[in-house]
Structures are given as C-alpha cells and as structure tokens.
Amino acid sequence: MSTAQPPAGNGRLLTGVAWALLLLGLWLWGKDATGGPGGLSAPTTGDVAAVGRPLGVPLPPARAPMGSARPERLEVPSIGIAAPVVARGLDSTGAVDPPPYATPHTVGWFRGGAEPGTDGAALFVGHVDTATRPAVFYGLSSARPGERIAVTRTDGSVAEFTIEDVQVFSLREFDPAKVYGQRQPGRAELRLITCGGTFDRASGGYTANVVVSAYLTGGS
C-alpha cells in the first residue's frame, strides 16, 4: 500500500507491516464496538494534514441510507479509479487481509463493517503500489472534496458518494476511532484508505496513511 516503492523482492513483507500498523487499531477498536462503528466525532487536527474543503466548493446534502447490498465495483472518475471490489476479513493477526498482490487493481471491502450506502461507515482498502508497479489507490491522495465516488452493488443499484475531505494521518498519531468511525449518526459514509508518507527502511514500514472520507448523496 505504500507510496514509496519498496525494493524488489521485499514488497510483500514491507507492505504487510504497513497494513498491520494501519489496521491493528481497527481490530482493537472493533472488539469494543457493539453493532459496528458509529456515533464518533469528526477527525481532529494536530499531526494530520488535510486538504479540507476549498473555498467556493459547495457540498450537497446527505441523502437517506439505502437498503442492504454488497459492493461489486468502485469508481472515482476524477482520478481514474475503476476497480472490482472483493470482500475481505481479518487475518490471524487481527489485521484486515488486503487483496492479493496478484490482483493489485482490486479494492478490498471490510465485510465486518457497514455495506456501502447503508447506515454507518463502509471501509475500503487498497494498495498504492507493488514492488514493480502502481496499484489501484496510487492516485488516491490527489482526490479532492466535492468529487464523486460511485459504488455499484450486488442488487444492481449504484450508491453515489461525495468526498468531504482527504487527510493524511501519521502512524504515530493515527486514531482508529476517528478514522474509521461514523461521523454523523444515521448517515451512510465511506472511507478509502491506503498508505502514504514515505517508506522508512529502518522500521520496515510507512510513515502515514491517506484517508478519503465521503458520504452518500445520491443513488439509483
């Protein structure tokens, strides 16, 4: 998932460390949750870089959540993402098991959380690159507030989300409750998550995570 290219031959190990750092907090927080994420405040500032909402960029109102259906495809047209989605669970260490490196242009949806378009925050994860090439979320940090995300679901419906902010959280200050939690009760939300910052060869991990937050504004 890194933004820095890992050395050839070590990509799986090094990126796996980044995944564990990112998602161990989700596992720990989720153990204490009842019925999934919800009722949490918006992300704080501090050791967080944020694009925020540029002046003059209005955001549409949220629409009511849709019915239950699993995701099949995710699209972010503004940055050229159009990818299949696969459901992923937790591995033996308690981290979300990402899509395999053999399918670097596949997005993983955490099946233990909310379905996209339903009440709650649906979590999507993807690699930024492999040892040799860019992967599905390579351009994720270029997304901007007001841009559209579309999720095609198994019932044939399309849940349409609007990006409200793009943030970069250092691993040192990463707060899983604020990143993964639902910001507004009763709202259908979305998170796209990948690695960011730089690759730290000394620790064998990456220094930050890119988090795109969006909310449901349309659907058919």
Phi, psi of 172 (to 5 degrees): -65, -30
Who contacts 33 (Cβ-Cβ below 8 Å, separation ≥6)?
none
Nearest to 48 by CA among 209, 213, 180, 205: 209
pTM exceeds cut of 0.85? no
Q: Tell me if 1 is assigned to some domain.
A: no
What's the CATH code of the domain at 39?
A: 2.40.260.10
Quote the pLDDT of residue 93. 66
Q: Tell me if 117 is assigned to some domain.
A: yes
How many domains, the chain?
Answer: 1
pLDDT single digits (tens) 46-75 = 344 555 555 567 899 999 999 999 999 999
pLDDT single digits (tens) 144-202 = 999 999 999 999 999 999 999 999 988 777 788 878 899 999 999 999 998 888 877 77
Integer Cα distance of 37 and 113 in angstroms: 7
Q: Tell me if 4 is assigned to some domain.
A: no
How open is the CA angle 113-80-53, to the nearest 5 degrees? 70
Q: Tell me if 119 is assigned to some domain.
A: yes
Identify the residue with better confidence: 138 or 56: 138
Integer Cα distance of 11 and 131 in angstroms: 5
Q: Tell me if 5 is assigned to some domain.
A: no
Quote the pLDDT of residue 90. 81
Q: Tell me if 148 is assigned to some domain.
A: yes
Tell me which residue range forms the domain holding 56.
11-219
Query: Residues 8-33: what's their mean pLDDT?
Result: 38
The amino acid that residue 212 corresponds to is: V
